[in-house]
Structure 1
Amino acid sequence: MQDQDNIRSGFNGTLTFGHRPALLIVDFQRGFTEPALSPLASDCGAAVLATNELIDAMRGVGTVIFTLLGYQRNLSDMGAWGRKCTSLDTLIQGTPTCEIDPRLHYDPATDLVLRKTQASAFFGTPLSALLAARRCDSLIVAGATTSGCVRASVVDAMQNAFPPFVVQECVADRSAAQHASNLVDMQSKYAEVVSLARMRQMLEQLK
């Protein structure tokens, strides 16, 4: 996973997993997981099922937060991003594309849902304040896409001093090449990329 050129350049440190983690599930919504609904979607089935294992392991340890990317019908809240990604207009609030994938173990009684309009889960949302209020000391990250909203959220997590831990089996991307390259990039510079088995062990130690 590590890139040797980055290691030689000094990108060789590690992040310490804390005692008060939160789990951030980025945009595992139907518009990204059901290709029949949106051209943005891809087959995320394996990652969704792996994320259920992660959610189950997180219960009793910390907060579970879901994000949903979507826009008003007039798209007035999209900003400039729609000029680059023209299929974002399929993600309209109140439609099936902006629903949490029904396969996920979402619990409306305990889990938080944040709606966002840009790539990062931190941009224009109260995520940083919510994590600070819960004294979060590390952020576990799952979701879609690895090269897009996951990576943007990971970079902002680091910049907001919430050390991010990306669970490899629990992130997905429509591009295999971008998925692989962004895992290397995040591991080198912004996060710890860990296996689901390793993360489950880490969470079990906190119970």
Structure 2
Amino acid sequence: MSGSVHNGHALLLIDVFSHFHFEDGAALASTQASAASGMAAAAAACRHEGIRVVYCNDNFGQWQDTWQDVLAYTARRGPPESAAMLKQLYPESGDIVLLKSRHSAFFNTQLASLLEALSIRQLALGGAATDVCVLSSAMDARVRGLEVAVLEDATAAASQQRHARALALMQDSLDIRVCTHDAWLSPASSSA
């Protein structure tokens, strides 16, 4: 990232891997599978620009497993969408993967310390679900003084209504930027 106009930026992908064994899981599996191409495009664009990509995924109670084991567990236990997303979105060399046990990517994880160590001040969020884990993480990032953007083309909720409602709440009530990954990466936004 040295010398890049995007110093201090990171992409946080939240709960992109799941077994979908929860209320509204089947609906989320479908919408998340549809949004996976946007998540993959955002990650690829960030890597191309030298922007750190960080995954923070639920551990699904697999307390002694590595992140690789947890991701494999989601593909084994979930519907076909789980394996497809694992193939399409698997972390690449240089990406950082953290595990979490609650809604926010910040709650009892190393994320805050990691972002501080990497001097990250601008954070874009993608993943699922827009109205639960992405919303919780965006609020926590804002509370920590980070400049936050939620990538509307790289997030998903169990329904389009829930997705739109969460994006509107973040934008209108929390002053969180809602945009596409291309808009977030544009040179004009590097100082935003």
Which category describes the TM-score, using the shorter chain as reference length? 0.7 to 0.9
CA contact (8 A) 1:54 1:200 kept: no
Residue of 57, 62, 73 corresponding to 1:95:
73
1:1-53 Cα distance to aligned partner (Å, 9 max, x none) = xxxxxxxxxxxxxxxx9741011000000325x99xx5474212332101111
CA contact (8 A) 1:55 1:105 kept: no
Distance 1:204 1:162, change over 3 A: closer
TM-score between both structures, scaled by the size of structure 2: 0.76
1:174-199 Cα distance to aligned partner (Å, 9 max, x none) = 12221111100101114100123312
Distance 1:130 1:56, change over 3 A: same
CA distance in 2, matches of 1:205, 1:23: 13
Partner of 1:174: 158
Distance 1:67 1:41, change over 3 A: same
1:59-114 Cα distance to aligned partner (Å, 9 max, x none) = 142211111112336x9xxxxxxxxxxxxxxxx9462258872211520x211111
- Name the % identity: 24
Q: Say if 2:42 is the partner of 1:64.
A: no
CA contact (8 A) 2:57 2:98 kept: yes
The RMSD of aligned alpha carbons is 3.0
Distance 1:115 1:105, change over 3 A: closer
Q: Say if 2:105 is the partner of 1:121.
A: yes
Residue of 146, 152, 155 corresponding to 1:162:
146
Partner of 2:34: 46
Partner of 1:201: 186
Q: Say if 2:12 is the partner of 1:24.
A: yes
Partner of 2:176: 191
Larger Rg: 1
Letter in 2 for 1:64: V
Distance 1:139 1:199, change over 3 A: same
Number of residue equivalences: 169
Distance 1:18 1:184, change over 3 A: farther
CA contact (8 A) 1:25 1:141 kept: yes
Distance 1:205 1:138, change over 3 A: closer
Q: Say if 2:43 is the partner of 1:55.
A: yes
CA distance in 1, matches of 2:6, 2:182: 17
Letter in 1 for 2:18: R
Letter in 2 for 1:137: R
Gaps of 5+ in 2: 64-68
1:88-146 Cα distance to aligned partner (Å, 9 max, x none) = xxxx9462258872211520x21111110100000000100100011111101000000
Letter in 2 for 1:27: D
Letter in 2 for 1:158: R
Gaps of 5+ in 1: 1-16, 76-91
CA distance in 1, matches of 2:96, 2:28: 23
